[in-house]
Amino acid sequence: MNQVKIKSPGTVANLVCGFDILGLALNDPYDIMEFRLLDEPQVIIHNRDHFELPTDPEQNVAGVVLQAAIEKAGGNIGFEVTIEKRIKPGSGLGSSAASAAGAAVGANLLLGNRFSTDELVQLAMIGEKLASGVKHADNITPCILGGITLIRSIYPMDIVPLATPDLFVTVVHPQIEVRTADARQILKQKVLLKDAIKQWGNIAGLVAGFMRNDKALISRSLEDVIIEPVRSILIPGFDEVKQQCREAGALGGGISGSGPSIFMLSETEAIAQDVAGIMKAIYSRIGIDHYVYVTTINNRGVEVVEGEWSMVNS
Amino acid sequence: MNQVKIKSPGTVANLVCGFDILGLALNDPYDIMEFRLLDEPQVIIHNRDHFELPTDPEQNVAGVVLQAAIEKAGGNIGFEVTIEKRIKPGSGLGSSAASAAGAAVGANLLLGNRFSTDELVQLAMIGEKLASGVKHADNITPCILGGITLIRSIYPMDIVPLATPDLFVTVVHPQIEVRTADARQILKQKVLLKDAIKQWGNIAGLVAGFMRNDKALISRSLEDVIIEPVRSILIPGFDEVKQQCREAGALGGGISGSGPSIFMLSETEAIAQDVAGIMKAIYSRIGIDHYVYVTTINNRGVEVVEGEWSMVNS
């Protein structure tokens, strides 16, 4: 195989009480990436979208991952990649993780699957570091593996795939800017022990709920007493969205990643659609442009897709 | 039924990273309690051990629970109880919880099982409040239900029985005094967010490990970066016990409750016995009297036992 086309899914990280450790993959939105193996150590990037992301490999999230993959593979090959980004940068839906994880998996496919999952995550984290300044894996891991994943520890790497409950996910992306770096900076370095205890009770309940597919326990455990109260002030309409969606029957939800997107989990598509209607109504009234997705949890992660090959000849 | 005899098991609370939320029940040690229903609203307590615990119901852990049960039942009945305590008070093995939970379950049996599990836990917490000044349920819940239990929340009460993995438990009780109140006071009110994140990664891993019976994941997750570093300084020999037991093949462990007992989980009885030998050797060398138990996880909780009836006639 010397060329491959993949879908790389959007993801929800910082899953409510699971700040920095829990994430899930979405079936929508996703990026498309097309890779071709080159016989010289170089990275060529084409964008097939309107986000004007850098094509200099040193400045591009997928580019730095591909460069690292070349080095890891011995330095005698290269990659040409065309990226069609559908996950908006800055949405809080793992746009940079999709590029980074997609690049790691794409390179691995063209190199005969020589990297382990841990190595793929390590490679992709180089892209996340470029994007946000921090090596975090809670978008990358569900992006690569699908489902709901736990990052128990980054040093040493310890990834635990948890489950893929049959839940519907509604996401609203209000078109405001929340920079990941700002969202990190606003957090307090210390938290009250009594709040931390509440949080770890909720995490434990959420993990048990996901593993048992116990919707009521999932719903009771979807509570974040530490991060959300601080970060939600950066997102106009957050409290209203959360309260009305809960009242409409959503199991619960919160900030996706570091925002501004908000996600809600629901048991049925009908509720997920009602939740979408509520989100649209609130942001229309407030006067903020927005996108809404009604989707399900993706259980495959980055995957090869067929279809017309559109890569520009180099 | 107007009389009943029960076994009430010792428990390990504050299960490593699960401070205040996770506990497990032991098959050894346990208390024996014999109850008789009386037709007047009074509580009569007899002790059949050498701990000289108060027999004034207002000052006795089982006594205050029985008084509350009488009130809850309408006030027209009473209880006589004989307590044979085998779980040493102050050991960190849930001695007061065994009295409190045993009293709640014993009363319930004589009252025709009128209380729900939540109500039993609520009743028993009245005894814990007398013993330690704090209404906590992480000893009581496994004591009543058996196995490993999660207290996701106390207000409102949310109890999640998790699992009963086939593990061996070795416990050493060094004969030094660590008062629960002191052990609470030594804790800092605030913790670093980065430590809290590590802790909730470990809790999530531990819950997943218990539910899947994944011994390697349990072992990796048995790490407490918040409470143990502070409290372990109250227990001479702690670091040495922990390190040597891990080296001998134990999955891991830590302080039982608020100490001074230390527990270790092992996959096999042979390892659990080796661990017992290590514990004995260390405390013999340091020169601290100690008891060691090699046991398994109790999956039944408080249970009715047959056998000779020894209650003093009132």
Chain A residue with minimum CA distance to B157: A220
CA angle B46, B300, B72 (to 5 degrees): 55
Chain A interface includes B155 (CB < 8 A): no
User: pLDDT tens across B117-157, in order?
Assistant: 999 999 999 999 998 877 789 999 999 999 999 999 988 99
Is A58 a residue of the active site?
no
d(CA B29, CA A85): 62
Peptide bond into A236 cis (omega under 30): no
Tokens encoding A224 = 């974040």
Structural contact between residues A85 and A53, judged by C-beta atoms closer than 8 angstroms:
yes
Confidence category of residue B313, pLDDT binned at 50, 70, 90: very low
In this predicted structure, what is the pLDDT of residue A286? 96
Chain A interface includes B79 (CB < 8 A): no
Structural contact between residues B41 and B77, judged by C-beta atoms closer than 8 angstroms:
yes
Which residues of A line the annotated binding site for ATP?
88-98
Q: Could you say which architecture CATH assigns to the domain A168-296?
A: 2-Layer Sandwich (3.30)
Long-range CB contacts (within 8 A, 24+) of B113-118: B114/B73, B115/B69, B115/B72, B117/B144, B117/B145, B117/B159, B118/B157, B118/B159
C-alpha count within 13 angstroms, C-beta hemisphere, residue B139: 34
Is A128 a residue of the active site?
yes
Tell me the average pLDDT across A112-116.
96
d(CA A282, CA B278): 64
Tell me which chain B residues have a C-beta less than 8 angstroms from the C-beta of A153.
Answer: 198, 201-202, 220
Residues 6+ apart with CB under 8 A from A305: A5, A6, A7, A32
User: pLDDT tens across A231-267, in order?
Assistant: 999 999 999 999 999 999 999 999 999 999 999 999 9
Structural contact between residues B262 and B254, judged by C-beta atoms closer than 8 angstroms:
yes
**Interface-testing mutation among B207, B210, B215, B226, with chain A (most A C-beta atoms within 10 A):** B207
In this predicted structure, what is the pLDDT of residue A311? 57
Which residues of B line the annotated binding site for ATP?
88-98
d(CA A77, CA B235): 58
**ipTM value for the complex:** 0.94
Tell me the average pLDDT across A104-133.
94
Structural contact between residues A64 and A53, judged by C-beta atoms closer than 8 angstroms:
no
Tell me the average pLDDT across A104-118.
96
Find, among A119, A113, A160, A170, the residue nearest to A138 by Cα: A160
Chain A interface includes B158 (CB < 8 A): yes
d(CA B29, CA B9): 6
Tell me which chain A residues have a C-beta less than 8 angstroms from the C-beta of B200.
Answer: 17-19, 21, 196, 199-200, 203
Confidence category of residue B53, pLDDT binned at 50, 70, 90: very high
Find, among B76, B159, B92, B169, the residue nearest to B120 by Cα: B159
Structural contact between residues A24 and B201, judged by C-beta atoms closer than 8 angstroms:
no
User: pLDDT tens across A53-88, in order?
Assistant: 999 999 999 999 999 999 999 989 999 999 999 999
In this predicted structure, what is the pLDDT of residue A64? 97
User: pLDDT tens across B157-187, in order?
Assistant: 999 999 889 999 999 999 998 876 777 788 9
Chain A interface includes B252 (CB < 8 A): no
Confidence category of residue B5, pLDDT binned at 50, 70, 90: very high
Domain boundaries, chain A: 3-163+299-304, 168-296
Confidence category of residue B14, pLDDT binned at 50, 70, 90: very high
Span between the terminal Cα atoms of chain A, in Å: 18
In this predicted structure, what is the pLDDT of residue B179? 73
- Cα B185–chain centre separation: 20
Fold classification of A3-163+299-304 is Ribosomal Protein S5; domain 2 (3.30.230)
Tell me which chain B residues have a C-beta less than 8 angstroms from the C-beta of A212.
Answer: 211
**Interface-testing mutation among B151, B152, B154, B218, with chain A (most A C-beta atoms within 10 A):** B152
Chain A interface includes B189 (CB < 8 A): yes
Tell me which chain A residues have a C-beta less than 8 angstroms from the C-beta of B229.
Answer: none
In this predicted structure, what is the pLDDT of residue A310? 65
Residue reference for tokens 């048991």 = A267
Chain B interface includes A259 (CB < 8 A): no
User: pLDDT tens across A170-200, in order?
Assistant: 999 999 988 767 777 889 999 999 999 999 9
